[in-house]
Structure 1
């Protein structure tokens, strides 16, 4: 019996599970997902990054210092984008909504100004550089393109349900085991029938224990807003960067049942900051910038803050790791270290992981 084991139940792990079950040639007879946290857990743990996300697709040009990883991860985002178009059409309950994306920069790097690779009409739909007359005060550069927003917790629950229903439909035995692993090799002790191991553990749990030393966390604090009235942000997502490097963005959180959407106002990017408690000064700074940039989100001159979100993006120096490790216990397909690009890259990473799986592991007997 083929038993594919996935470590991690965030957006990367569940995307791998979903893609694996969708592919008849690779579909295992048994699927095991091991994680300390699962979608729909209450309360949401700060150790579980995926439910706290925005989430939307915001492309950026390849930077000279990280060109190789930027190029690779950009390709992941385009694969995800194309699959999301199908999911949005066929599964409105996924909450994926396509809309206009706008980037506004006060002091743009040269790769933006020259519309470098990854940030032009070659791979972005409805891409257009804004005219000077269209730019807000103090903004030196702007572009628009077609993008999407989604409701992270609801989308995770959608993926989890798709995994369950696909297993039921195709006779794949599903086991979801809640535990914290200390080392990947524990998987082979618990499941000696493991024929493939996908490591979607975010920070990169290693075979003999510990985490990938190239991995680090980026703390993000955002505000979840109730906005009972209609605004232009129902149809667009905007990201603004000021001269000091502060990123301020508004992301719609669509609903699956037609009820009023909420919005994310963000955010912070604080590497190696492990404070799980919301900080008033971070929230105050976000609201101060939001009052200037996105005043339409306020009600009677104030933001209605439903919750302060604190999450930790699992980033990696040198870019994400999506590759095969041939360990003494068996092959491991690593898929971690995506930082704040988990949703944007999710199905592209899963597609790559499955290609590695098909070239490394024996095909299941159909």
Structure 2
């Protein structure tokens, strides 16, 4: 008679928690349950995943672990586009511009200025833009084929894949990590908890990670369509504001944005919204249909940023093992499968 599978609770039902649960369940080695204060379909400022732009645009330069996360995720997105188009991921050309005044900001530009960024051989049709391919105000640029995700499709799709594998996904609030050890759908205590609480890792009892801080992002969702994804190295409006455009499969385009560390304000700033729109139209005037934008809504999301980078490591608690997986900041989607694979490895080291 075979031994029962080790029981695991994944705490958090954002993209990190759902992806990690899926990768654990796919091994066939564990009995996995997911609990989260919020589930796909919910909207709250504490719940980051529904507000994201959600694409693959790596800004890693020298960190080999982060490169691995992004590489593995790109490879899985490639597979999903080909084999499971119902997931809501699509391939889209990505164009990145660098302003002359930003050339010294190498720490912020990742490998963008390298002759061959680390992802040049990973992304199809990579090229460095020539001078005549650049708008006049930019000094450098690259383009390549990447991915953008429709979250209203993708997050429920992740839940559907979990349900197919017999994984319970339930809404539950816990105030201390120890409560998760008693939250498996079977009612039986678990051997491991996967902490995918994102921004709430700063407030979760037993964790209380002071390095976790919000990276406020504000975007404008419009019905208009952009022919590609775009990003610019900086803006003249403010050091913490950004310019990016992401068209989603199934319709709608995200215009962004900002990255305001430590800012918990969930209310859209109308003046910033106007600046975002102005900047995006400068790099992509084709966005306007007959001279206007059809605005759906203004969004604010709080990226789960972490000083020093994401935390993916195991820790022994009195009740059992905790494997942490949080703090990806703006890379939550583009590193999701790579970080989940790392968790799978750490769980195997702890339990098998």
**How much does 1:252 deviate?**
1.1
Partner of 2:196: 200
Question: 1:218-277: per-residue Cα shift (whole Å, max 9, x none)?
Answer: 1101011012xxx5x34x21112345454211101112xxxxx11001111111111111
SS in structure 1 of the partner of residue 159 of structure 2: helix
**How much does 1:87 deviate?**
1.1
Partner of 1:157: 156
**How much does 1:45 deviate?**
1.2
Distance 1:175 1:156, change over 3 A: same
Contact 1:320 1:337 in 2 (8 A): yes
Query: Counterparts of 1:61 and 1:178 in 2: how far apart (Å)?
Result: 34
Partner of 1:222: 219
Taking structure 2 as the reference length, what is the TM-score of the superposition?
0.89
SS in structure 2 of the partner of residue 20 of structure 1: helix
Query: Counterparts of 2:346 and 2:202 in 1: how far apart (Å)?
Result: 19
Query: Counterparts of 2:121 and 2:86 in 1: how far apart (Å)?
Result: 31
What is the number of equivalent residue pairs in this alignment? 334
Partner of 1:241: 233
SS in structure 2 of the partner of residue 112 of structure 1: coil
Query: Counterparts of 2:66 and 2:252 in 1: how far apart (Å)?
Result: 29
Question: 1:316-355: per-residue Cα shift (whole Å, max 9, x none)?
Answer: 0110011111122211111000001111000111111001
**How much does 1:176 deviate?**
3.0
Partner of 1:82: 75
Query: Counterparts of 2:277 and 2:269 in 1: how far apart (Å)?
Result: 13
| 1:1-366 equivalences in 2 (<5 Å) | 1=4, 2-24=6-28, 26=29, 28-29=30-31, 31-41=32-42, 44-62=43-61, 67=62, 70-106=63-99, 107-108=102-103, 109-110=105-106, 112-115=112-115, 118-119=118-119, 121-167=120-166, 174-190=167-183, 193-203=189-199, 204=201, 208-209=205-206, 211-227=208-224, 233-234=226-227, 236-242=228-234, 244=236, 245=239, 246-255=241-250, 261-362=251-352
Which structure 2 residue ranges, 5 or more long, are not aligned? none
Contact 1:183 1:205 in 2 (8 A): no
Question: 1:106-131: per-residue Cα shift (whole Å, max 9, x none)?
Answer: 02345533336535x24433221111
SS in structure 2 of the partner of residue 360 of structure 1: helix
Which structure 1 residue ranges, 5 or more long, are not aligned? 168-173, 256-260
Query: Counterparts of 1:275 and 1:205 in 2: how far apart (Å)?
Result: 16
Question: 1:41-61: per-residue Cα shift (whole Å, max 9, x none)?
Answer: 3xx112110011111111224
Contact 1:52 1:153 in 2 (8 A): no
Query: Counterparts of 2:316 and 2:281 in 1: how far apart (Å)?
Result: 53
Taking structure 1 as the reference length, what is the TM-score of the superposition?
0.86
Contact 1:61 1:116 in 2 (8 A): no
